[in-house]
Structure 1
Amino acid sequence: MNEILLLGLSHKTACVELREKLACSKDDAVSLLERLKSEDCIDEAYVLSTCNRFEIVVVCESADLASGSVMSVISDYRNIPLSDFEGAFYSHTGDEAVKHIFRVGAGLDSLVLGEPQILGQIKDAYHLAVARKSSGMILNRLFHRAFQTAKRIRTETGIGGSAVSISYAAIELAKKIFGSLEGRRVLMIGAGEMAELAVAHLIRQKVGQVTVANRTLSRAVDLASRFGGKAASIEELPSLLVDADIILSSTGAPGFVIERDVAKSAMKKRGNKPAFFIDIAVPRDIDPEINRLTNAYVYDIDDLKGVIDENLESRGKEAVKGERIVDEASIKFRKWLNGLDIVPTIVALKNRLEDIADFELSRTLPGLKSLTENEQDALKRMTQGLVSKILHNPIQFLRKTSHKGNESLYIGIIRSLFNLDEDERLETESVDEDNSMSGRAS
């Protein structure tokens, strides 16, 4: 019987220094897959490496035997003593491994609950395993199920529907004030990483002109070029504020960069049209008194963190629904996997052909009223004999292949040919679908 084994570590079990040591580039992952495939005790293999997690999934005959081989391969390939990392590794087999994969794909095990980027990374890792022919029938089915489960959780729960980062929270607040952000003019003050990220998110909302103001003009030019915007010196702020709808500030200044009086003058010149100030600097760049001006809205990091905490709580409630969906999907996958055993497949095949024969007889006999009861019985015995003869060779074939180590392949072919899994109604979904969920962080 095939076993699914998952070995790995994540941000929950390993420090960043250890995660860095095991992190794999695409070329590294290819080499690892080749090494794993060469192990006699491993039939299929998959490698996932992100900044927050490193996991290997294999299909094997013996989880104990395969576990030792996997750990040795890792130690060997990364040139790290086993004692340096084995304590941080978790191990899941069978249903627990399946559930873990489904949870990870849905963002239920991520550093930021419900984040969507991990699914794109899992898809990339799966594509690589397929390309290197290290993923077979079982892992193919498993990961397609993982993709479908993640999509269902996104659709049926609100786990990904609220902001959980400073930049996302800022955009959410801006939407509450302006509704659509399309065409809104953005002023970015300073070169803070979080402010830069927020502007990147704003650009996805199709904002209009982006202006970058910085004390060092060359730095402003560099940043502005990334967003197709324009650069300005920080001394131009009084005039820049007049045209800006959204102002993001992240400088290292010791005091306020935008004083109340400067903002008041700018608001008057812009006819008191709404202006949204996002202050993500510590100490603060924007005078909080500006919030008292008509149609001026000032939010600092504490305000944004409040939004994030509230949304994380909301995501936690939605995660309960996600866990239920994972449980359902795991049960269905177990049912399919159990069907790969020879006896259930033989029984299912026999039942399928007998059902077909019975159905056809029920349609045919009413039209043959001239037949006597004995003749009808003879016809039934004949169809039963046909079923037995049709079944003979497939059953003998399955029994013979059970001793060759690749029975799951042939069982899968038989089950597909005779549609023995029709009750599960597997939805067709391309692993490339929903590219918006792809990304680089987990």
Structure 2
Amino acid sequence: MSVLVVGLSHRSAPIDLLERVSLDVRAGQRFASRLHGGDHVHEVLVLSTCNRLEVVVEAGTFHGALEEIGAALGELGGLTREQLTDHLFVHYDDRAVAHLFELACGLDSMAVGESQVLGQLRDALALAQRNGHLGPSLNPLVQQALRVGKRAHAETAIDEVSRSLVELGLGQARGVLGDLAGARTVVVGAGAMSGLAVATLVREGVEDVVVVNRTPERARRLAAQHGARTAPWSDLSGAVGSADLVLTCTGAVGHVLDEAGLAQARSAAGRSGAPVVLLDLALPRDVAPEVARLRGVHLWGLAELQDATRPDDAEATEPAAVTAARGLVAGEVAGYLTERHAARLGPTLAALRTSAGRVVDAEMARLDQRLPHLPDDERSEVRHTVQRVVDKLLHTPTTRVKQLHAGYDEVPADYAHALRELFDLDSREVAALSTPPLGVVDPAPEARSEGHHDD
């Protein structure tokens, strides 16, 4: 069995397709449970964020698991196989390990180096653990990915490589509104991304920030943390109509702002035609795209911000911090794979030594029958001699197997199989000697996240 990662992300699929497979927490649980009950998927973790949906599984068979995941994704988004094929990415076994480590470090993010995905991955791990979807393969792997991500943010300057989505959006807003210090600003939603938005706005010197959320308690809690104000959900139109800058991320089903409603709100506030910037950070979208047709309205969604993150020069030199983070990941992947391969081989070598011990015991029992009056000191010397012979005979093949598997990434299981066949080892005994699953590690509080979607 091997690790398989199948998914869609901002790198492989357009935003409108990502919207069709977007999952809230409950839908994600149902989706994971369906896959976990498949014939070829034995462990599963689902990571759903504003710009990716990834399925990480322990696959009994590659093609069988891939077929089950593809069918589930197609049904989820109402997509045909052809529509999915061009946009799916697939990582298998060692490459899957590398991808998860890169993901945790922010190397695969829309804004390279952002740390929010680390919290999202941690939340996905905790949810999969609670639902019993993880076991001895994925549980330690994802925990190690989180440790690698935390190390990358602590030991490299990866955090400084790219601005967050909020900062990218504010850069676009300045191009329209100029200095944002006096901009009347509304943040719609009160979850993790909205919290980041409010914190960033205040840090950037924006003085007039209003938080609007369906749950007033959450809005008040967020506003109080940063000295912002709140407005009731019933006054959303009035707040948005009079605003210069609006940031939305509610995770709502359907649009929170549409063309007709915004036009009416702006007219009522006497701001028809006045410049306003809307930053829609939600998936699915909070703001109907038609809103951009209104005079004075400037709308940026995830797709537009994604375009803004692409370098103008495709041949641009990779930042030193990214290179450092990739080097860290490469070393961590190599170490993890070496340990995993050794763990796979260890039970077979232990079973081989156990089998050899039984041979020595059997021969000594036969010697006792033939020479029952052999003195104890002579019997002990015979036993030591026989044991040394056995140990020397086993030393070369076991050492050679370890050397061989260290030079390859794909085949250590083949060597273990060869040993079992050559020495007629009982596969049940090998399984019984396997390393027990690692215990669940409580996520470190400093990297815990509420996820992307608000409200």
Which category of TM-score, normalised to the shorter sequence, fits these structures? 0.5 to 0.7
Residues 74 and 81, structure 2, Cα contact 8 Å, conserved in 1 = yes
Counterpart in the other structure of 2:349: 347
Secondary structure, counterpart of 1:191 in structure 2: strand
Secondary structure, counterpart of 2:54 in structure 1: strand
Residues 123 and 432, structure 1, Cα contact 8 Å, conserved in 2 = no
Map of 1:361-372 to 2, 5 A cutoff? none
Structure 1: runs of 5+ lacking an equivalent: 172-185, 215-222, 232-248, 257-281, 284-304, 355-372, 388-394, 417-425
Deviations 1:339-367 (A, max 9, x none): 343x5433267789x9xxxxxxxxxxxxx
Secondary structure, counterpart of 2:86 in structure 1: helix
2:117 maps to amino acid? I
Aligned residues: 311
Runs of 4+ aligned residues of structure 1 deviating over 6 Å after TM superposition are 196-199, 203-207, 223-226, 251-256, 349-352, 373-376, 382-387, 395-398
Residues 3 and 60, structure 1, Cα contact 8 Å, conserved in 2 = yes
The equivalent position to 1:227 in structure 2, one of 223, 229, 252, is: 223
Larger radius of gyration: 1
The change in CA–CA distance for 1:80 and 1:143 in structure 2 (over 3 A counts) is same
CA distance in structure 2 between the aligned counterparts of 1:224 and 1:131, rounded to whole angstroms: 30
Deviations 1:60-94 (A, max 9, x none): 23212211121112223444322222210011101
Counterpart in the other structure of 2:435: 412
| Pair 1:325 & 2:323 matched | no
Counterpart in the other structure of 2:57: 58
2:108 maps to amino acid? D
Quick one: percent identity of the two aligned structures? 20
Map of 1:20-419 to 2, 5 A cutoff? 20-161=19-160, 164-165=163-164, 188-191=182-185, 200-201=198-199, 212=208, 227-228=223-224, 316-341=319-344, 343-347=345-349, 377=381, 380=384, 399-401=426-428, 407=431, 411-413=434-436
Secondary structure, counterpart of 1:339 in structure 2: helix
Residues 36 and 70, structure 1, Cα contact 8 Å, conserved in 2 = yes
Residues 70 and 81, structure 2, Cα contact 8 Å, conserved in 1 = yes
The change in CA–CA distance for 1:75 and 1:410 in structure 2 (over 3 A counts) is farther
Residues 46 and 58, structure 1, Cα contact 8 Å, conserved in 2 = yes
Secondary structure, counterpart of 2:185 in structure 1: coil
Residues 10 and 52, structure 1, Cα contact 8 Å, conserved in 2 = yes
Deviations 1:355-386 (A, max 9, x none): xxxxxxxxxxxxxxxxxx97985684598799
The change in CA–CA distance for 1:226 and 1:326 in structure 2 (over 3 A counts) is closer
The change in CA–CA distance for 1:166 and 1:43 in structure 2 (over 3 A counts) is closer
Q: Normalised by the size of structure 1, how large is the TM-score?
A: 0.56
The change in CA–CA distance for 1:28 and 1:150 in structure 2 (over 3 A counts) is same
Residues 111 and 165, structure 2, Cα contact 8 Å, conserved in 1 = no
CA distance in structure 2 between the aligned counterparts of 1:130 and 1:198, rounded to whole angstroms: 27
Counterpart in the other structure of 1:290: none
Residues 44 and 134, structure 2, Cα contact 8 Å, conserved in 1 = yes
Secondary structure, counterpart of 1:44 in structure 2: strand
1:400 maps to amino acid? S
CA distance in structure 2 between the aligned counterparts of 1:328 and 1:432, rounded to whole angstroms: 23
The change in CA–CA distance for 1:253 and 1:189 in structure 2 (over 3 A counts) is farther
CA distance in structure 2 between the aligned counterparts of 1:85 and 1:381, rounded to whole angstroms: 65
CA distance in structure 2 between the aligned counterparts of 1:40 and 1:94, rounded to whole angstroms: 19
The change in CA–CA distance for 1:349 and 1:111 in structure 2 (over 3 A counts) is same
CA distance in structure 1 between the aligned counterparts of 2:163 and 2:352, rounded to whole angstroms: 53
Displacement of 1:161 in angstroms is 3.8
Question: Does 2-11 or 60-69 show the bigger shift?
Answer: 60-69
Q: Normalised by the size of structure 2, how large is the TM-score?
A: 0.55
Residues 33 and 132, structure 1, Cα contact 8 Å, conserved in 2 = no
Secondary structure, counterpart of 2:141 in structure 1: helix
The change in CA–CA distance for 1:149 and 1:438 in structure 2 (over 3 A counts) is farther
The equivalent position to 2:442 in structure 1, one of 425, 430, 433, is: 430
The change in CA–CA distance for 1:148 and 1:226 in structure 2 (over 3 A counts) is closer
The change in CA–CA distance for 1:142 and 1:379 in structure 2 (over 3 A counts) is same
CA distance in structure 1 between the aligned counterparts of 2:87 and 2:383, rounded to whole angstroms: 67
1:399 maps to amino acid? D
Secondary structure, counterpart of 1:160 in structure 2: helix
Secondary structure, counterpart of 1:125 in structure 2: helix
Secondary structure, counterpart of 1:48 in structure 2: strand
The change in CA–CA distance for 1:156 and 1:199 in structure 2 (over 3 A counts) is closer
Displacement of 1:199 in angstroms is 7.6
The change in CA–CA distance for 1:314 and 1:144 in structure 2 (over 3 A counts) is farther
The change in CA–CA distance for 1:430 and 1:351 in structure 2 (over 3 A counts) is farther
Secondary structure, counterpart of 1:411 in structure 2: coil
Residues 42 and 60, structure 1, Cα contact 8 Å, conserved in 2 = yes
CA distance in structure 2 between the aligned counterparts of 1:114 and 1:333, rounded to whole angstroms: 22
The change in CA–CA distance for 1:124 and 1:397 in structure 2 (over 3 A counts) is farther
Structure 2: runs of 5+ lacking an equivalent: 171-179, 189-193, 211-218, 230-243, 247-270, 276-295, 298-307, 357-376, 392-419
Displacement of 1:230 in angstroms is 8.0
